[in-house]
Amino acid sequence: MSRIGKSPVNIPSGVEVKVNGTTVTVKGPKGELTQEIDSCVTLSVEAGTVTFSRESDAPSHRAKHGLYRSLVNNMIIGVSEGFKKELEIIGVGFRATTQGQMLDLALGYSHPIVMNIPSEVKVSADTQKGKAPVVTLESYDKQLLGQVAAKIRSLRKPEPYKGKGVRFLGEEIRRKAGKAAGKK
């Protein structure tokens, strides 16, 4: 059995899990999420836990067993606690500001980049003197949050020589040495 798939998911108080055929709906204080589940995996909700089982030991069924358990677990955590990602913008003249759901980025291009962030994701930009601007993204949907954060990072990926660009807070960038001494 899959180690991840066989462990049950605890349902915290205030979270409601409904199964309708192959559709799972999780409702909590932060929002509501829905996920389609493959018919090879069955789940049962009983006594405050969700358990998963698969119909056979075929490799594709074993893979989906752990996958759907993780997806439902992330849904339950999301609607009860939520998820948060922070992006750091490093570079001279690089800045970030927000107006509602609009994120305005100056990343060294000839024009500012204005992104419309989905309504499910709460965005804020914090700029302190002497520190790199930090963009904070919060949401109950882990998949959407990761997708938005990856899109922002892709606008100016950190480069290996000076480390300028958009990176996740705490991300380690492999640095390269520049040119060695000039010609003699």
Count other Cβ atoms within 10 Å, centred on residue 138. Answer: 16
Task: Name residues whose C-beta falls within 8 Å of residue 48's C-beta, 6 or more positions apart in sequence.
Answer: 10, 11
pLDDT by residue (tens digit) across 21-37?
Answer: 889 999 999 999 999 99
Domain-located, residue 177 = no
Same domain, 60 and 92: no
Predicted confidence (pLDDT) per residue in 48-59, tens digit? 899 999 888 888
Count of residues making up the chain: 184
CATH number, position 161: 3.90.930.12
Report helix, strand or coil for 154: helix
Q: What is the pLDDT of residue 178?
A: 82
Q: Is residue 174 part of a domain?
A: no
Measured CA to CA in angstroms, residue 138 lies from 39, 118, 176 at distances of: 32, 11, 33
User: Whole-number mean pLDDT of the chain?
Assistant: 91
Q: What is the pTM of this model?
A: 0.88
* Domain endpoint, select from 18, 51, 80: 80
Which domain-ending residue is among 80, 108, 133? 80
Asked if 76 and 101 sit in the same domain, the reply is: no
- Cα 97 to the chain's mean position, in Å? 21
Radius of gyration of the chain from its Cα atoms, rounded to whole angstroms: 21
Q: Is 149 within the bounds of a domain? A: yes
Could you tell me the two tokens for 71?
């997806």
The DSSP result for 51-118, as a single string, is EEEES---HHHHHHHHHHHHHHHHHHHHHHT-EEEEEEEESTT-EEEEETTEEEEE-SSSS-EEEE--
Do 162 and 88 share a domain, yes or no?
Answer: yes
User: Which range of residues forms the domain containing residue 24?
Assistant: 3-80
The number of domains in the chain is 2
pLDDT tens digits, one per residue of 57-71: 888 898 899 999 999
Mark whether 88 and 163 lie in a shared domain: yes
Per-residue tokens: 132: 């790199």
CA-based diameter of the chain, in Å? Answer: 77
pLDDT at 2: 59
Give percent of the chain above pLDDT 70: 97
Residue 101 to residue 104: CA distance in whole angstroms:
10
CA distances from 23 to 33, 38, 73, 78, 95 (A): 11, 9, 15, 18, 42
Residues 19 and 57 in one domain: yes
75 and 87, same domain (yes or no): no
